[in-house]
Structure 1
């Protein structure tokens, strides 16, 4: 006739592993441990590789600056000729 619920649902506040503070602490601990695991997988460049990469970037930026400066000078001369300044 009358059915009672015994153990069908946990009490309020005990669902999913405890109170919100302990769940937050566990989640933060998991997050930090996953960050550390990922950082262990990182392959860092050697000193020579780092030096080579730096030189490549400096040379590339210098070449691009020269190209853009040349185009700017050329276009400014062209505009001067067309509009007679």
Structure 2
């Protein structure tokens, strides 16, 4: 199973953002703050293990195959209904 990660910004990032917002820094300083916040958030990212990655991939592929089967089935059904209602072009 995936590790539980709390999706909340750390207190120091929030405090820095509030202080910087109150100071109304120039655009370059705001951009630098943005980059620092992005890096802080990226440090929180947890990469899945190989087992988790294979499991997630299998689930996604299985879901896609099931959805393809449903769409194919509906296409066949509607095609049959259209032929039943309107008949063939040659008749």
TM range (shorter): 0.5 to 0.7
Distance in 2, matches of 1:42 and 1:33, equals 15
Alignment of 1:71 with 2:74, yes or no, is yes
Deviations 1:19-74, CA, capped at 9 Å, x for gaps: xxx83332222111111111111122111111111111111101110111011011
Deviation beyond 4 Å, 4+ runs, structure 1: none
Gaps of at least 5 residues in structure 2 are 1-22
Q: Which protein is richer in helix relative to its size? A: 2
Larger radius of gyration: 1
Alignment of 1:53 with 2:62, yes or no, is no
Distance in 1, matches of 2:48 and 2:32, equals 29
| CA RMSD after TM alignment | 1.9
Q: Structure 1 residue aligned with 2:44, among 38, 41, 44?
A: 41
Distance in 2, matches of 1:78 and 1:24, equals 62
57-66 or 23-32: which moved more?
23-32
TM-score (norm 1): 0.67
TM-score (norm 2): 0.63
Higher relative contact order (CA 8 A, sep 6+): 2
